[in-house]
Structure 1
Amino acid sequence: MTTAERLRAEGRAEGLAKGRAEGRAATLIDLLTVKFGSVPETTIRTIRAAGPDSADTWLHRLIIATTLDQVFA
Protein backbone atom coordinates (compact mmCIF):
# COMPACT_ATOMS: atom_id res chain seq x y z
CA MET A 1 0.00 0.00 0.00
CA THR A 2 1.40 3.39 -0.92
CA THR A 3 1.51 6.33 1.45
CA ALA A 4 -1.19 8.06 -0.58
CA GLU A 5 -3.46 5.01 -0.39
CA ARG A 6 -2.90 4.73 3.35
CA LEU A 7 -3.70 8.40 3.88
CA ARG A 8 -6.88 8.11 1.79
CA ALA A 9 -7.96 5.06 3.80
CA GLU A 10 -7.30 6.89 7.07
CA GLY A 11 -9.26 9.89 5.83
CA ARG A 12 -12.22 7.70 4.92
CA ALA A 13 -12.13 6.01 8.33
CA GLU A 14 -12.02 9.38 10.12
CA GLY A 15 -14.89 10.65 7.98
CA LEU A 16 -17.00 7.61 8.83
CA ALA A 17 -16.30 7.98 12.55
CA LYS A 18 -17.20 11.67 12.44
CA GLY A 19 -20.39 10.89 10.52
CA ARG A 20 -21.40 8.27 13.07
CA ALA A 21 -20.79 10.66 15.97
CA GLU A 22 -22.83 13.36 14.25
CA GLY A 23 -25.58 10.82 13.62
CA ARG A 24 -25.66 9.79 17.27
CA ALA A 25 -25.84 13.43 18.34
CA ALA A 26 -28.69 14.15 15.91
CA THR A 27 -30.59 11.06 17.08
CA LEU A 28 -30.16 12.01 20.72
CA ILE A 29 -31.36 15.56 20.10
CA ASP A 30 -34.38 14.28 18.17
CA LEU A 31 -35.32 11.80 20.89
CA LEU A 32 -34.86 14.37 23.66
CA THR A 33 -37.14 16.74 21.76
CA VAL A 34 -39.80 14.08 21.35
CA LYS A 35 -39.68 13.09 25.01
CA PHE A 36 -39.15 16.45 26.73
CA GLY A 37 -40.04 19.14 24.20
CA SER A 38 -37.69 21.98 23.38
CA VAL A 39 -34.03 21.23 24.16
CA PRO A 40 -31.91 24.18 25.38
CA GLU A 41 -29.21 25.35 22.96
CA THR A 42 -26.55 24.81 25.63
CA THR A 43 -27.56 21.15 25.85
CA ILE A 44 -27.44 20.81 22.07
CA ARG A 45 -23.91 22.27 22.02
CA THR A 46 -22.84 19.88 24.79
CA ILE A 47 -24.18 16.90 22.86
CA ARG A 48 -22.50 17.94 19.60
CA ALA A 49 -19.15 18.49 21.35
CA ALA A 50 -19.22 15.16 23.19
CA GLY A 51 -17.66 11.92 22.06
CA PRO A 52 -19.59 8.84 20.97
CA ASP A 53 -19.23 7.17 24.38
CA SER A 54 -21.02 10.05 26.10
CA ALA A 55 -23.76 10.04 23.46
CA ASP A 56 -24.28 6.30 23.97
CA THR A 57 -24.51 6.77 27.74
CA TRP A 58 -27.06 9.55 27.34
CA LEU A 59 -29.09 7.50 24.85
CA HIS A 60 -29.26 4.65 27.36
CA ARG A 61 -30.25 6.97 30.21
CA LEU A 62 -32.94 8.55 28.04
CA ILE A 63 -34.90 5.31 28.13
CA ILE A 64 -35.70 5.56 31.84
CA ALA A 65 -35.20 9.27 32.52
CA THR A 66 -38.22 11.32 33.48
CA THR A 67 -36.43 14.67 33.20
CA LEU A 68 -33.80 16.15 30.92
CA ASP A 69 -31.48 16.57 33.93
CA GLN A 70 -31.59 12.83 34.63
CA VAL A 71 -30.22 12.09 31.16
CA PHE A 72 -27.09 14.16 31.84
CA ALA A 73 -26.67 13.43 35.58
Structure 2
Amino acid sequence: MTTGQQLIAEGRAEGQADLLLKALEFRFGSVDDQSRARVRSATPEQIVTWYHRLLSGADSVDDVLG
Protein backbone atom coordinates (compact mmCIF):
# COMPACT_ATOMS: atom_id res chain seq x y z
CA MET A 1 0.00 0.00 0.00
CA THR A 2 1.40 3.39 -0.91
CA THR A 3 1.56 6.27 1.52
CA GLY A 4 -1.24 7.99 -0.38
CA GLN A 5 -3.46 4.92 -0.17
CA GLN A 6 -2.73 4.59 3.53
CA LEU A 7 -3.69 8.22 4.14
CA ILE A 8 -6.93 7.74 2.23
CA ALA A 9 -7.76 4.61 4.25
CA GLU A 10 -7.06 6.44 7.51
CA GLY A 11 -9.29 9.31 6.41
CA ARG A 12 -12.11 6.92 5.61
CA ALA A 13 -11.77 5.23 8.99
CA GLU A 14 -11.92 8.61 10.75
CA GLY A 15 -15.01 9.52 8.74
CA GLN A 16 -16.72 6.26 9.66
CA ALA A 17 -15.94 6.85 13.33
CA ASP A 18 -17.30 10.40 13.14
CA LEU A 19 -20.53 9.20 11.55
CA LEU A 20 -21.00 6.47 14.14
CA LEU A 21 -20.45 8.97 16.95
CA LYS A 22 -23.03 11.32 15.42
CA ALA A 23 -25.51 8.44 15.14
CA LEU A 24 -24.89 7.43 18.75
CA GLU A 25 -25.39 11.01 19.92
CA PHE A 26 -28.58 11.33 17.89
CA ARG A 27 -30.00 8.12 19.34
CA PHE A 28 -28.76 8.24 22.93
CA GLY A 29 -27.65 11.80 23.65
CA SER A 30 -24.13 12.55 24.79
CA VAL A 31 -21.41 9.91 24.44
CA ASP A 32 -18.88 9.64 27.28
CA ASP A 33 -15.19 10.21 26.63
CA GLN A 34 -14.23 6.55 27.11
CA SER A 35 -16.79 5.38 24.53
CA ARG A 36 -15.74 8.16 22.17
CA ALA A 37 -12.10 7.03 22.45
CA ARG A 38 -13.07 3.41 21.74
CA VAL A 39 -14.90 4.43 18.58
CA ARG A 40 -12.03 6.63 17.39
CA SER A 41 -9.50 3.80 17.83
CA ALA A 42 -11.68 1.02 16.36
CA THR A 43 -11.02 -0.82 13.14
CA PRO A 44 -13.37 -0.25 10.20
CA GLU A 45 -14.68 -3.80 10.71
CA GLN A 46 -15.52 -3.08 14.34
CA ILE A 47 -17.33 0.11 13.37
CA VAL A 48 -19.49 -1.86 10.92
CA THR A 49 -20.33 -4.35 13.68
CA TRP A 50 -21.33 -1.48 15.97
CA TYR A 51 -23.49 0.06 13.24
CA HIS A 52 -25.31 -3.27 12.90
CA ARG A 53 -25.95 -3.32 16.65
CA LEU A 54 -27.17 0.27 16.60
CA LEU A 55 -29.53 -0.41 13.70
CA SER A 56 -30.73 -3.65 15.29
CA GLY A 57 -32.26 -1.75 18.20
CA ALA A 58 -29.58 -1.50 20.86
CA ASP A 59 -30.88 0.27 23.97
CA SER A 60 -27.70 2.12 24.99
CA VAL A 61 -24.22 3.10 23.90
CA ASP A 62 -22.92 0.24 26.07
CA ASP A 63 -25.13 -2.21 24.16
CA VAL A 64 -23.71 -0.96 20.87
CA LEU A 65 -20.07 -1.08 21.94
CA GLY A 66 -20.46 -4.12 24.22
TM exceeding 0.5 = yes
Distance 1:54 1:17 in 2: 15
Secondary structure class of the residue paired with 2:59: coil
Cα distance in 2 for partners of 1:42, 1:72 equals 11
2:62 to 27, 50, 69: 69
Q: How many residues align?
A: 65
Name the amino acid aligned to 1:70.
D
CA distance in 2: counterparts of 1:58 and 1:30, whole angstroms: 13
Higher helix share: 1
Identity of aligned residues (%): 37
Please tell me the residue identity of whatever aligns with 1:69.
D
Query: Which whole-Å CA distance do the structure 1 matches of 2:60 and 2:48 have between them?
Result: 17
Structure with more relative contact order (C-alpha pairs < 8 Å, separation 6 or more): 2
Give how far 1:67 is off: 1.5
Quick one: distance in 1 between partners of 2:17 and 2:58?
A: 17
Runs (4+) off by over 6 Å: none
Note if 1:30 corresponds to 2:19. Answer: no
Unaligned runs of 5+ residues in structure 1 are: 1-8
TM-score (norm 1): 0.83
